């Protein structure tokens, strides 16, 4: 019987959030097609990281273990993943859309005479495997102006990578599963690159992706001198400060605080958009947030189309009142 196989990634011995999102996408696909789901992660089966797998129960968790996989190389990962795919024979292979996956996944797909459908933001039109309805994968084109729909033709597994924030990782639930070591056959001669030190962002770089609450400010703030209004709200909420592109282009906040198609993609528990219109280039970076709250004086601002809670009004009145209310509640 065919299946869905999801490859997870770990960083600093923790499974990354985008991996849980890829797993949620894999579950959506598996449930829609009535297929079993398996997941795989590089590492020894004895590694405690495997105890942290907490999603809806997959059929099997494969621990892909080999000393040549201790450091990432495209050659090593491609060869090892290809061997597992040949062993499991899945119909669908799902990966998180990370720099690493971008590096090796197209090559992995090519090994099976397939292409990688990258940056998937949605899965539609699913039926059972016997039905004529097949899954359609949605990805954005032209800076989010167009949604393109893709489906697989031909035989072989269908490879897709899932964009950060597009699927909600917390849709997973706890359950029992089987942990199985998978020992690929790898020769050092087939690894043609020498891994260097992993890239470390400079200490100043803000990882908005790991923030639980983001207060994000847009051009409605009018001038840099007004930023303390939102900074105080962020401080009161224990939130990170983020921004739309014009704020960063103006140099009012550093570029690493920009959210959107040319900034960071985020999916915090709460995203508070203050004076942001909701241009598509901004929305693609934050619409996966669990709860979106928007403050805007224009009731027709597109941000309200994705907002769970909307406040129509002047941010210069609302934000200080909100800050005072949060401070009072915490006192």
Q: In the set 49, 246, 256, 327, which binds ligand FAD (CB under 6 A)? A: 246
19 binds ligand FAD (CB under 6 A): no
Query: Which run of H or E residues covers position 241?
Result: strand 240-243
Q: Quick check: 315 binds ligand FAD (CB under 6 A)?
A: yes
78 touches ligand FAD (CB under 6 A): no
144 to each of 33, 147, 176, 281, 292, how far by Cα in Å?
28, 7, 39, 6, 19
Contact in structure between 39 and 73 (CB atoms under 8 Å)? no
Q: Which is nearer to ligand FAD, 90 or 218 (CB)?
A: 218
How far apart, in whole angstroms, are the C-alpha atoms of residue 47 and residue 70? 13
Establish if 219 lies at the interface with ligand FAD (CB under 6 A): yes
Smallest CA-to-CA distance from 42 within 68, 63, 20 is with: 63
Is 124 among the residues that bind ligand FAD (CB under 6 A)? no
Q: Which window, 30-38, 160-168, 224-232, 260-268, contacts ligand FAD (CB under 6 A)?
A: 260-268
3-state DSSP percent of the chain in helix, strand and coil, to 5: 35, 25, 40
DSSP helix/strand/coil, 185? coil
Q: Does 255 bind ligand FAD (CB under 6 A)?
A: no
Residue 293 C-beta: closest distance to ligand FAD, Å: 13
> 270-274 and 213-217 as β-strands: parallel, antiparallel, unpaired?
parallel
Decide if residue 2 touches ligand FAD (CB under 6 A). no
Min. distance of Cβ 81 from ligand FAD in angstroms?
32
Q: Which is nearer to ligand FAD, 190 or 314 (CB)?
A: 314
Closer to ligand FAD by Cβ: residue 22 or 295: 295
The stretch near ligand FAD (CB under 6 A) out of 35-43, 130-138, 231-239, 272-280 is: 272-280
Q: Segment near ligand FAD (CB under 6 A), from 61-69, 116-124, 180-188, 278-286? A: 278-286
Report the alpha-carbon distance of residue 302 to residue 281 in Å, rounded.
12
Residue of 292, 298, 287 lying closest to 271 (CA atoms): 292
Binding residue for ligand FAD, selected from 19, 114, 244, 323, defined by CB under 6 A = 244
Helix or strand run (H / E) with residue 219: none
Interaction of residue 156 with ligand FAD, rule CB under 6 A:
no
Per rule CB under 6 A, is residue 262 in the interface with ligand FAD? yes
| Cβ-proximal residues to 61 (8 Å cutoff; 6+ apart), any chain | 38, 39, 40, 41, 50, 53, 177, 178, 179, 180
Q: Binding of ligand FAD at residue 276 (CB under 6 A)?
A: yes
Q: Which residues sit at the interface with ligand FAD, rule CB under 6 A?
A: 143, 218-220, 244-246, 258-263, 275-277, 279, 281-282, 285, 295-298, 301, 314-316
């Amino acid at each position: 019987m065919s299946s869905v196989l999801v490859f997870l990634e770990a960083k600093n011995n923790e499974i990354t959030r985008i991996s849980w999102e890829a797993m949620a996408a894999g579950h959506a696909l598996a449930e829609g097609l009535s297929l079993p789901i398996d997941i795989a992660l590089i590492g020894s089966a004895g590694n405690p990281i495997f105890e942290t797998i907490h999603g809806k129960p997959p059929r099997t968790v494969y621990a892909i273990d080999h000393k040549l996989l201790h450091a990432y190389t495209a050659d090593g990962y491609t060869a090892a993943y290809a061997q597992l795919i040949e062993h499991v024979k899945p119909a669908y292979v799902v990966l998180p859309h990370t720099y690493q996956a971008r590096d090796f996944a197209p090559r992995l797909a090519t090994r099976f005479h397939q292409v990688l459908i990258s940056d998937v933001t949605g899965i539609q039109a699913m039926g059972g495997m016997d039905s004529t309805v097949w899954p359609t994968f949605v990805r954005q084109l032209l800076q989010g102006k167009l949604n393109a729909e893709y489906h697989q033709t031909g035989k072989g597994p269908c490879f897709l990578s899932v964009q950060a924030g597009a699927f909600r990782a917390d849709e997973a639930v706890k359950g029992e599963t089987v942990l199985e070591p998978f020992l690929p056959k790898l020769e050092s001669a087939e690894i043609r690159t020498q891994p260097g030190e992993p890239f470390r962002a400079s200490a100043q770089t803000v990882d908005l992706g790991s923030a639980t609450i983001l207060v994000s400010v847009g051009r409605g703030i009018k001038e840099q001198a007004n930023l303390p209004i939102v900074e105080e709200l962020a401080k009161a909420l224990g939130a990170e400060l983020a921004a739309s592109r014009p704020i960063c282009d103006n140099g009012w906040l550093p570029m690493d605080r920009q959210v959107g198609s040319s900034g960071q993609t985020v999916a915090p528990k709460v995203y508070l958009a203050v004076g942001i219109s909701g241009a598509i280039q901004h929305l693609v970076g934050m619409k996966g947030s669990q709860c979106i709250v928007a403050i805007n004086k224009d009731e027709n601002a597109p941000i309200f189309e994705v907002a769970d809670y909307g406040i129509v009004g002047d941010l210069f009145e609302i934000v200080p009142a909100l800050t005072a209310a949060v401070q009072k509640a915490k006192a």
